[in-house]
Amino acid sequence: MAAEGAEISVKTGNNHVGNGNGNGDPLIVFMPSGRRGRFPRGTPVLQAARQLGVDIDSVCGGRAICGRCQVVVSEGEFAKLGVTSKGDHLSDFSAVEQRYADKRSMKPGRRLSCQAVLLGDLVIDVPEDSQVHKQVVRKRAEMRAIEIDPVVKLHYVEVAEPDMHDPTGDLQRLEKALKEQWGLTDLDTDLRVIQGLQSALRTGKWTVTVAVHLGKQITAVWPGFKDQVFGLAVDVGSTTIAGHLCELSSGEVVASSGLMNPQIRFGEDLMSRVSYVMMNPGGDAEMTKAVRDAINDLAAAVAKEAGCTVQDILEVTFVGNPIMHHLLLGINPIELGGAPFALASDGPTMFWASEIDLKIHPNARIYVLPCIAGHVGADTAGVILSEAPHEADEMTLVVDVGTNAEIVLGNKERLLAASSPTGPAFEGAQISCGQRAAPGAIERIRINRETLEPRFKVIGCDLWSDHPDFAKQTEATGVTGVCGSGIIECIAEMYLAGILTQDGVIDGSMAAKSPRIQPAERTFSYLLHDGTPQLRIFQNDVRAIQLAKAALYAGARLLMDHLNIDKVDRITLAGAFGSHIDVKYAMVLGMIPDCDLAKVSSAGNAAGTGARIALLNAAARDEITRVVKQVEKVETAVEPKFQAHFVEAMAIPHKTAPYPHLAKAVALPAPKVVMPRDDDGSGGGRRRRRRG
């Protein structure tokens, strides 16, 4: 094989590789790799590419069936390459190509490289979509693209018919064909493939398409030519199960779906599900069945959406927190309910779909990403795979906010991970007017610094609440509550407007400025929306958010201590919550340490993206297994400094840590101290100490 680059000199003695016998043969140069060689006139372009190690896709092995090997002739002079390339240096568009184009359509100028043969010097462009290792570009520019190299690949083969004079098994003749036509050797074969092999070979008139898993195992055989198989990447969250169905050769997401995790009926949060198991023998099996049933529903839904069948799904990858991981795998999660929080296994797990009762292709394989520690699961491994802090030069903080916050901090030198017990406040639970993100929930809030009047937006309507059409457009949904991102903005805006002190006390003296500040019980409240229901922020709501954000900050700070650093270069907020939040408000609140706001971003469902990467790129599995082993696990519960950091972090944004980047970007109010109405002289500290 030739090396990469346009002006290579090949280390084979002379300057070119190929079958050609010297300079009389045409020179072919493939772009963008720049690989080049001389081959006899009449050599198919695909054959030349194969010998030069040029990355051109093919399922049918050069039989003009799959159309994956399309190329384009670059016309013109290429002085630098020493070639004059012209269309007539390639054989005419053939009847075989025309037949393919008629049947499947082909862009103008495209040629099937398995059919077009070399007649003179040529420069050939291999379009991205004809490469095996194409890249799937991701939405955010800073993210590395996913290189497609799926664990399941299709190979079309022609198999020799049996011969009584030289008796061999059908499987052995298939193996011989795979070796001769695709260079695949030492393959194992699933029993179910052997069971269906003879029928497939005869139905396909001795041609079949073979699915090979990780280059080692024959997992499916279909008669004749088959173009596509699919993989499913699933994020099993405590609340939501989300799946993406991908066509495995292109990496394209062809269908996505999400559904509620039916385990919710056994308990809203993780610990209540573990409690359910403790109280109800066999409860783990019930929850295992529930989640597997849901995944079967999900698989059926995405297959329907994509117009394929569940039998076309040959691979599934999973991420999930440790308890979801264990319940999915049929492992009793009871050990995760108490110290020392021992996982059954922290390694990656690979097995058959049937072993967890998934009703997809009977030989489909499941890959579950490794867990990191008892509180830091395969979902965090997925986040790492997606966000790749282990490849960063910059000191990178990745926070995945759910009921717990998983925190990863480091760069290519070291990587640390911990979990902080934020509780469900960020999800709208424990907040008097909180609710899940759903139409009608307030998600954006601004408070006028002078009048203290709020305006807001609700999910399902693009207008702000002070727009004249707002009431009409939200007639159907109403204004029903405040979701997680709305709470963050509301508390931060209350602070920025001076309604809250840095200690998180609602300043009753502001009642003089606005009737929205009202006494409530022994403290004050802020009236956010005077509708049905009436939405108020009480002192206890502020406290709940302070506790949650302090836990999150303290976890991050603890990892910074371990790395002996005082600031981070980049922050990524992952998870459904992280994708809806305005990162500026997260910083105003002091959920995260100070950082250049231009380098704080939301990653969306990074855990799910990690599952998708593990689905589409075989090497990513080795990568994440290696990285997870190297991650330094920090257990917040046994670190004495965590409590101290927690107490310090109760203030908005923080009692002692400076926020220079934030101060530059946002007008922070001057400090003031207000005693809460129920104060006994020790300020908010009493409440904090009690909890500590």
Q: Which is nearer to a second copy, 292 or 688 (CB)?
A: 292
Q: Which one of the spans 184-192, 289-297, 603-611, 649-657 is the region binding a second copy (CB under 8 A)?
A: 184-192
Q: Which one of the spans 113-121, 308-316, 338-346, 501-509 is the region binding a second copy (CB under 8 A)?
A: 338-346
Q: Which one of the spans 61-69, 120-128, 159-167, 672-680 is the region binding a second copy (CB under 8 A)?
A: 159-167
Pick the binder of a second copy from 191, 512, 598, 667 (CB under 8 A).
191
Q: Which is nearer to a second copy, 366 or 674 (CB)?
A: 366
Query: Does residue 315 belong to the site contacting a second copy (CB under 8 A)?
Result: no
Query: Does residue 285 belong to the site contacting a second copy (CB under 8 A)?
Result: no
* Interaction pattern, residues 506-545, with a second copy; x per rule: CB under 8 A: ----------------------------------------
Write down the least CB distance from residue 318 to a second copy, Å: 13
Write down the least CB distance from residue 476 to a second copy, Å: 47
Q: Which is nearer to a second copy, 629 or 689 (CB)?
A: 629
The helix (run of H) or strand (run of E) holding residue 43 is: none
Q: Which is nearer to a second copy, 126 or 174 (CB)?
A: 174
DSSP letter string over 182-209? H---S-EE-HHHHHHHHHHHHHTTTEEE
Bridge partners for 188 per DSSP: 217
Query: Does residue 189 belong to the site contacting a second copy (CB under 8 A)?
Result: yes
Report the alpha-carbon distance of residue 307 to residue 94 in Å, rounded.
Answer: 33
Query: H helices within 72-169, ranges in order?
Result: 95-104
Q: Which is nearer to a second copy, 218 or 303 (CB)?
A: 218
Pick the binder of a second copy from 237, 243, 251, 374 (CB under 8 A).
374
- Chain positions 229 to 258 lying near a second copy, rule: CB under 8 A, are none
CA distances from 568 to 74, 563, 582, 592 (A): 48, 11, 19, 10
Position of tokens 């340490």? 593
Pick the binder of a second copy from 331, 550, 571, 581 (CB under 8 A).
331
Query: H helices within 365-469, ranges in order?
Result: 378-387
Query: H helices within 109-190, ranges in order?
Result: 170-182
CA distances from 502 to 328, 381, 499 (A): 43, 36, 10
Q: Which one of the spans 370-378, 400-408, 491-499, 525-533 is the region binding a second copy (CB under 8 A)?
A: 370-378
Q: Which one of the spans 247-255, 339-347, 406-414, 581-589 is the region binding a second copy (CB under 8 A)?
A: 339-347
Query: Does residue 329 belong to the site contacting a second copy (CB under 8 A)?
Result: yes
Report the alpha-carbon distance of residue 414 to residue 293 in Å, rounded.
Answer: 40
Count of positions (residues) in the chain: 692
Sequence-ordered strand ranges (E) for 405-453: 405-410, 415-420, 441-447
Q: Which residues contact 462 (CB under 8 A, 6 or more apart)?
A: none
Query: Does residue 633 belong to the site contacting a second copy (CB under 8 A)?
Result: yes
Q: Which is nearer to a second copy, 343 or 603 (CB)?
A: 343
The helix (run of H) or strand (run of E) holding residue 524 is: strand 523-530
CA distances from 142 to 371, 386, 392, 599 (A): 26, 11, 11, 10
Position of tokens 């269906």? 196
Query: Does residue 203 belong to the site contacting a second copy (CB under 8 A)?
Result: no
Pick the binder of a second copy from 267, 347, 423, 460 (CB under 8 A).
347
Q: Which one of the spans 55-63, 326-334, 472-480, 538-546 is the region binding a second copy (CB under 8 A)?
A: 326-334
The pair of structure tokens assigned to 486 is 């709305």
Q: Which is nearer to a second copy, 120 or 162 (CB)?
A: 162
Asked if 331 contacts 304 with a C-beta cutoff of 8 angstroms, the reply is no
Nearest to 367 by CA among 605, 154, 151: 151
Q: Which is nearer to a second copy, 169 or 692 (CB)?
A: 169
Report the alpha-carbon distance of residue 389 to residue 607 in Å, rounded.
Answer: 14
- Chain positions 163 to 182 lying near a second copy, rule: CB under 8 A, are 163-172
Q: Which is nearer to a second copy, 15 or 172 (CB)?
A: 172
Q: Which one of the spans 178-186, 194-202, 250-258, 484-492 is the region binding a second copy (CB under 8 A)?
A: 194-202
Q: Is the dihedral of CA 176, 179, 185, 188 positive or negative?
A: negative
Pick the binder of a second copy from 637, 665, 666, 675 (CB under 8 A).
637
Q: Which is nearer to a second copy, 65 or 371 (CB)?
A: 371
Q: How many residues bind a second copy (CB under 8 A)?
A: 46
CA distances from 154 to 104, 111, 228 (A): 19, 22, 8
HSE, CB side, 13 Å, CA atoms: give it for residue 366.
22
Question: Residue 363: which region, alpha, beta or left (left: phi > 0; alpha: psi -120 to 50)?
Answer: alpha
Pick the binder of a second copy from 12, 15, 135, 195 (CB under 8 A).
195
Binding site for a second copy (CB under 8 A): 161-172, 189-192, 194-195, 197-199, 329-332, 335, 339-347, 349, 351, 355-356, 371, 373-374, 633, 635, 637-638
